């Protein structure tokens, strides 16, 4: 095995490692996204709950308004019974009628809220809760899958680290050093020089002298433009 073959073998393993490292980075991000989405659904439930609670307060207020007016009517009626002036009697009568009207109006408001608004908000809450339950199940399942995959990826990365060591040991030190330096800046590092003498890494043509060196399978021929290591037909 010459050094370019050994490098191609090493590059293969490095390619797998790069993909898996990217995936390992991406998995927690996807999990966080899922949980953020769930937070949105939870917020919808909280909003629906507070709207329903506010409506219940308003309904209670109409009941209190009606009962306060009726209490006042009772008091005025007692006063009316002991009244001995016709003028006062008529004034009390008008006040009583006005209060009875107010009590009826409060009842009507409460009735409308109870009949129309209440079922609508209760339905809204039920729907939000059902959606949350469904989403939570989905998200939990999905997050478990992501966790499982992350464990697989980590195990595979451990295995590949060993494989990489073995493959790197096959590459002559000088070639390895060149490869290691370049791979932080360029990927892939080892590429073919095509029939038109174009580097498959940077897509530029190399000079004939460089092409000849590749043709003669000299060790470590670098692209004159990008520095990648070139080979042709192993
Ligand atoms: Zn190049």
List the CATH number of the domain containing 57: 1.10.287.1490
Same domain, 29 and 46: yes
Residue ending a domain, among 125, 143, 168, is: 168
Mean per-residue pLDDT for 149-160? 97
197 alpha carbon – ligand 1 mean position (Å) = 10
Mean per-residue pLDDT for 39-51? 95
What is the tally of structural domains in the chain? 2
9 alpha carbon – ligand 1 mean position (Å) = 20
Model pLDDT, residue 234: 67
| pLDDT exceeds 70 at position 10 | yes
219 alpha carbon – ligand 1 mean position (Å) = 16
Q: Which domain holds residue 99?
A: 19-168
> What DSSP letter does each residue of 30-45 carry, written as one string?
HHHHHHHHHHHHHHHH
Residue ending a domain, among 114, 146, 168, is: 168
Are the C-beta atoms of 196 and 205 separated by less than 8 Å? yes
Same domain, 49 and 150: yes
| pLDDT exceeds 80 at position 85 | yes
Same domain, 164 and 184: no
| pLDDT exceeds 70 at position 55 | yes
Same domain, 150 and 234: no
Task: Give the SS3 label for residue 198.
Answer: strand
10 Å CB burial of residue 191 (0-12, 13-18, 19+) is: buried
Q: Is residue 107 part of a domain?
A: yes
Q: Is residue 36 part of a domain?
A: yes
Model pLDDT, residue 56: 97
Model pLDDT, residue 219: 78
Are the C-beta atoms of 51 and 228 separated by less than 8 Å? no
Same domain, 162 and 67: yes
pTM of the model: 0.71
178-187 pLDDT, tens digit each: 999 999 999 9
183 alpha carbon – ligand 1 mean position (Å) = 13
Residue ending a domain, among 116, 138, 168, is: 168
> CA 214 to CA 103: how far, in whole Å?
100
DSSP state of 199: B
Split at pLDDT 50, 70, 90, the class of 224 is very high
**Where is pLDDT greater, at 233 or 162?**
162
Are the C-beta atoms of 217 and 2 separated by less than 8 Å? yes
């Amino acid at each position: 095995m010459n050094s370019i073959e050994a490098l191609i073998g090493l590059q293969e393993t490095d390619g797998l490692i790069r993909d898996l490292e990217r995936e390992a980075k991406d998995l927690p991000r996807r999990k966080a996204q899922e949980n953020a989405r769930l937070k949105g659904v939870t917020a919808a439930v909280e909003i629906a709950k507070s709207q329903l609670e506010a409506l219940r307060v308003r309904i209670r207020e109409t009941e209190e308004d009606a009962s306060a007016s009726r209490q006042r009517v009772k008091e005025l009626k007692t006063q009316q019974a002991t009244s001995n002036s016709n003028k006062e009697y008529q004034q009390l009568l008008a006040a009583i009628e006005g209060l009875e009207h107010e009590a009826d109006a409060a009842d009507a408001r409460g009735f409308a809220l109870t009949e129309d608004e209440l079922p609508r908000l209760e339905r809204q809450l039920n729907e939000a809760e059902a959606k949350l339950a469904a989403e939570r199940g989905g998200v939990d399942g999905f997050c478990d899958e992501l966790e499982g995959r992350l464990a697989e990826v980590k195990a595979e990365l451990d295995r590949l680290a060993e494989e990489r060591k073995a493959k790197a040991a096959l590459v002559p030190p000088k070639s390895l050093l060149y490869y290691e330096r370049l791979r932080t800046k360029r990927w892939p590092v080892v590429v073919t020089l095509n029939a038109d003498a174009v580097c498959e890494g940077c897509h530029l043509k190399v000079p004939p002298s460089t092409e000849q060196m590749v043709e003669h399978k000299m060790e470590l021929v670098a692209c004159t433009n990008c520095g990648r290591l070139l080979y042709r037909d192993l």
